Amino acid sequence: MRQFVLAANWKMNKTPVETAAFFQTFLSGFSPSPGRQTVFFVPALDITTAIGATNGRGVGIGTQNIHFKKKGAFTGENSAEAAKAAGCEWTLVGHSERRSLFGETDLITAKKMKLALECGLKPMLCVGESLDERTAGETMKVVERQLTVGLEAMTAADWASVTIAYEPVWAIGTGKVATPEQASEVHTAIRAWLERRAGAEVAAAMPILYGGSAKPENFREIASQKNIDGFLVGGASLEADSFLKFCAW
């Protein structure tokens, strides 16, 4: 049985003090359950606070970005090795904001995937089409290209540590959520792609998350569709009460 994964992407929000306050409220209402993983992708400067606040409470902490080189003269970048040493279990790779605002290419995501695994982090690869690409009927062409290049170096041993998040760019932070059918169609196609690429067993075990304006009011209908194994939640993960509604489902 594959895991159901609820992941919060805080982006560049919350100070360490706000992070500590969040977890105080969140953890008073949270209990871990089997078959589920709960993950917080927090800003790099909040990682230590988040790890300290959640130690032993059944949630994982991740970094939102890593550099593709292990160390060196890369001023301002996050090291995967340091994130792991600080207690992170996870990292996002290829979030659409990284791609569109910071020039992250498919080839860069491929290098980050490999380095994350080498450093013992579980990478969550984000894929998704823009509105223009969807309108042009190119959704699956784009998603398959992102998957093909981003996951090119994965070996049989790597797959168990990989997670995929489908996030249509036009739905991120816009309040415009994909319909359950739109999400399910792409998730089903991603699983079919995985089956071709890595075999039926890997495809069946891979959690594929939906992200893009997921809210307490709209996620249940999406969650009940085929091939949807969790959510990557931005705006609606910033308030403990709101994110707890996802976790309590």
95 tagged catalytic: yes
Name the phi and psi angles at 131, rounded to 5: -65, -45
Q: What is the 3-state secondary structure (H, E, C) of the chain?
A: CCCEEEEEECCCCCCHHHHHHHHHHHHHCCCCCCCEEEEEEECHHHHHHHHHHHCCCCCEEEECCCCCCCCCCCCCCCCHHHHHHCCCCEEEECCHHHHHHHCCCHHHHHHHHHHHHHCCCEEEEEECCCHHHHHCCCHHHHHHHHHHHHCCCCCCCCHHHCEEEECCHHHCCCCCCCCHHHHHHHHHHHHHHHHHHHCHHHHHHCCEEEECCCCCCCHHHHHCCCCCCEEEECHHHCCHHHHHHHHCC
For the CB of residue 11, give the shortest distance to ligand PGA in the complex, in Å.
7
Site for ligand PGA contains 213 (CB under 6 A): yes
Cβ-based nearer residue to ligand PGA, 163 or 213 = 213
What's the closest the beta carbon of residue 158 comes to ligand PGA, in angstroms?
23
Of 113-121, 132-140, 154-162, 165-173, the segment contacting ligand PGA by CB under 6 A is 165-173
212 touches ligand PGA by CB under 6 A: yes
Among residues 32 and 173, whose Cβ is nearest to ligand PGA?
173
Is residue 39 a contact point for ligand PGA (CB under 6 A)?
A: no
234 forms part of the interface with ligand PGA (CB under 6 A): yes
Q: Is 167 in the site for ligand PGA (CB under 6 A)?
A: yes
Pick one of 62, 128, 180, 211: the residue that binds ligand PGA (CB under 6 A): 211
The 169-208 contact track toward ligand PGA, x by CB under 6 A, reads ---xx-----------------------------------
Asked if 167 is an active-site residue, the reply is yes
Pick the catalytic residue: 95, 104, 129, 133? 95
Other Cβ atoms within 10 Å of 104 Cβ, number: 19
Q: How far apart are CA 212 and CA 209, in angstroms?
A: 10
Cα–Cα nearest to 120, from 75, 174, 165, 79: 79
Between 66 and 198, name the residue whose CB sits nearer to ligand PGA: 66
Q: Which of residues 6-35 bind ligand PGA (CB under 6 A)?
A: 9
Q: Does 235 bind ligand PGA (CB under 6 A)?
A: yes
Kindly tell me which of 62 and 212 has the beta carbon lying closer to ligand PGA: 212
Q: Which is nearer to ligand PGA, 206 or 233 (CB)?
A: 233
| Site for ligand PGA, rule CB under 6 A | 9, 167, 172-173, 211-214, 232-236
